[in-house]
């Protein structure tokens, strides 16, 4: 079995800028979702406002998505500020945070898109997967990130 290629400062900078760009694009998506919710309120659409489960799920999708996007931007900025070589945890933590930024809100959104009585649809199963990815990413960063 071959060991992973050693990473250079240039690789690390690439990872940092990827996180920052991903975070801004994700923030755009989730802020647009907020704008969509605002419009739904404006037009007083019953299929959202009168279904408590859908409203809760989509509000959770919007709020978690926007907040996670901000976390990804901050994470990328800190990777950029404190570069390092040969610290594989940085790639793993980034992958976990990026996965959480997609899966957690997507789970809430899908759960609200297809509701069964008062219950969210099966898509909500993505949310706990995203939550686990988030916990792993945060734990790795808390354990390893140091000013350089």
For residue 47, the tally of other CB atoms under 10 A from its CB is 9
Residue of 13, 14, 41, 143 that binds ligand HEM (CB under 6 A): 41
Query: Is residue 105 within 8 Å of 124, Cβ to Cβ?
Result: no
Residues 6+ apart with CB under 8 A from 95: 137
28 is a contact residue toward ligand HEM (CB under 6 A): no
31 is a contact residue toward ligand HEM (CB under 6 A): yes
For residue 73, the tally of other CB atoms under 10 A from its CB is 18
By CB under 6 A, the residues from 58 to 97 that bind ligand HEM are 59, 62-63, 66-67
Query: Is residue 72 within 8 Å of 104, Cβ to Cβ?
Result: no
Stretch that binds ligand HEM, among 30-38, 81-89, 122-130, 140-148 (CB under 6 A): 30-38
Size of the site for ligand HEM (CB under 6 A): 12
- Summarize as ranges the residues that interact with ligand HEM (CB under 6 A): 31, 34-35, 37-38, 41, 55, 59, 62-63, 66-67
């Amino acid at each position: 079995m071959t060991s992973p290629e050693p990473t250079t400062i240039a690789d690390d900078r690439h990872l940092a800028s990827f996180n920052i760009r991903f975070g801004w694009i994700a923030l755009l998506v989730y802020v647009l979702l907020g704008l969509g919710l605002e419009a739904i309120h404006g037009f007083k659409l019953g299929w959202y406002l009168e279904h408590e489960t859908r409203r809760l799920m989509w509000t959770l999708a919007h709020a978690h998505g926007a907040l996670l996007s901000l976390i990804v931007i901050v994470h990328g900025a800190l990777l950029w500020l404190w570069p390092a070589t040969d610290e594989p945890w940085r790639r793993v933590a980034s992958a976990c945070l990026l996965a959480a930024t997609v899966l957690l809100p997507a789970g809430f959104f899908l759960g609200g898109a297809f509701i069964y009585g008062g219950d969210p649809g099966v898509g909500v199963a993505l949310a706990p997967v995203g939550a686990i990815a988030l916990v792993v990413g945060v734990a790795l960063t808390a354990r390893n990130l140091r000013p350089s």
